[in-house]
Amino acid sequence: MNDKQENKYSMYLALVKVCDSFILSWSGVTAFADSYTVFKGHVVKLGGLLEQQLTAITGVRKDKLAALDTVVEQVLPVAGMLFAYATDMDDNTLRDSSKLSATDLRQVRDTVAGERARIIYTLAVPLEGALAAYGLVGGDLVALDASITAYENLVASPRVAIVTRKGATTEMRAEIRSADKVLKDRMDPLSLQFAVSAPEFYRNYKDARIIVDSGSGSVKKGSIALKVFDGMTMSPIEGATVNTLPETVEKLTDINGLAVLEGVAPGTYLVKVTKAGHVSGQVEVTVKSGEVVAADVKLMM
């Protein structure tokens, strides 16, 4: 989502908030109510597409790192067995080939990590019987083969994710066009009647329709200070992932459960919080030019 689209989406969120807050002011006007239902549907769809766009890459990356952790956990013991066996057999070639550390797998390109793990597996297969005396248990190599294959399959996933993200971007443009059409052709003209019948709603509606240009040099960016607590114990949660939509700023909470998201353009955002073992939570915040907005989120187990 580019700056212009982010600005529009922020305006959409602000408008939804206003309309939902003043529902009694307009619910009796069927044409406006029907138009708003259509508009809100586009905004909800945009939110889903934005989340899809955000998680397409980050989700695959997390899955890949988890798969690599499994490979490292399983391949290093086998490499150690091979090394000891080669030493006993005075086989320097095998000994050199079986030298492997976690760094050799984690600090190289994805494809290289998979290839190095696969070499250990290939060397161990014909020696499975001999390696039993060194601690190899039946099924160890089968499990290693499966984990390496799973990792190798995930290495290509970011490319697939990029295609997914592009697809979401295309759909996003269409949803914005549709949302704009409903606003300009239906809701805006129909809102004029509320200037007299519901002046407070009309004033808030007009204010929400103003698009703040987050790319303008005259607008200062702000910050979000979010504190995450355990909903049962009220203890701060460390290591929770905090994302803002639509700007997609991401950060982890510290030991005090605090994450400060800086450089956020003025606008209304949905802040989503996730942590393994907890139900995800979210809160809507409005960032003003040059200001810090504070908010709390409680996560339940």
CATH number where 229 lies = 2.60.40.1120
- In a shared domain, residues 151 and 269: no
The answer to whether residue 217 is domain-embedded is no
Distance CA 160, CA 241 (A): 24
The answer to whether residue 216 is domain-embedded is no
The answer to whether residue 94 is domain-embedded is yes
pLDDT above 70 covers a percentage of the chain that reads 87
Global confidence as pTM: 0.42
Distance CA 229, CA 172 (A): 33
Chosen domain end from 211, 237, 270: 211
171 close to 46: Cβ distance less than 8 angstroms: no
Chosen domain end from 211, 235, 269: 211
The answer to whether residue 206 is domain-embedded is yes
- In a shared domain, residues 233 and 169: no
Using the 8-state DSSP alphabet, how is residue 261 labeled?
A: E
- In a shared domain, residues 143 and 258: no
- In a shared domain, residues 121 and 4: yes
Higher-confidence position of 139 and 5: 139
Name residues whose C-beta falls within 8 Å of residue 84's C-beta, 6 or more positions apart in sequence: 134
Query: pLDDT, tens digit, for every residue of 116-159?
Result: 999 999 999 999 999 999 999 989 999 999 999 998 887 765 55
The answer to whether residue 115 is domain-embedded is yes
The answer to whether residue 99 is domain-embedded is yes
- Partners of 293 in the β-ladder: 224
Q: Alpha helix locations (H) across 22-156?
A: 23-26, 30-88, 92-97, 102-106, 110-124, 128-131, 140-155
- In a shared domain, residues 57 and 14: yes
Burial class (CB in 10 A: 0-12, 13-18, 19+), 259: buried
Which residues span the domain enclosing 270?
Answer: 222-299
- In a shared domain, residues 51 and 177: yes
- In a shared domain, residues 61 and 140: yes
- In a shared domain, residues 18 and 121: yes
Higher-confidence position of 189 and 268: 189
User: Could you check whether the bond before residue 266 is cis, i.e. omega within 30 degrees of 0?
Assistant: no
Look at residue 95 and tell me whether its pLDDT is greater than 60.
yes
- In a shared domain, residues 241 and 207: no
Chosen domain end from 180, 211, 242: 211
Distance CA 8, CA 211 (A): 6
- In a shared domain, residues 157 and 280: no
CA distances to 22, 66, 160, 166 from 59, rounded to whole Å, are: 38, 11, 12, 16
- Partners of 261 in the β-ladder: 224
Lowest mean pLDDT among 117-126, 269-278, 283-292: 283-292
Name residues whose C-beta falls within 8 Å of residue 137's C-beta, 6 or more positions apart in sequence: none
Query: pLDDT, tens digit, for every residue of 159-199?
Result: 555 555 556 677 888 899 999 999 999 999 999 999 989 99
Of 226, 236, 274, residue with least CA distance to 256: 236
Overall domain count for the chain: 2
Lowest mean pLDDT among 59-68, 148-157, 249-258: 59-68
Lowest mean pLDDT among 13-22, 58-67, 80-89, 188-197: 58-67
Supply the pLDDT for residue 180. Answer: 92
Query: pLDDT, tens digit, for every residue of 18-46?
Result: 999 999 999 999 999 999 999 999 999 88
The answer to whether residue 134 is domain-embedded is yes
- In a shared domain, residues 201 and 227: no
The answer to whether residue 228 is domain-embedded is yes
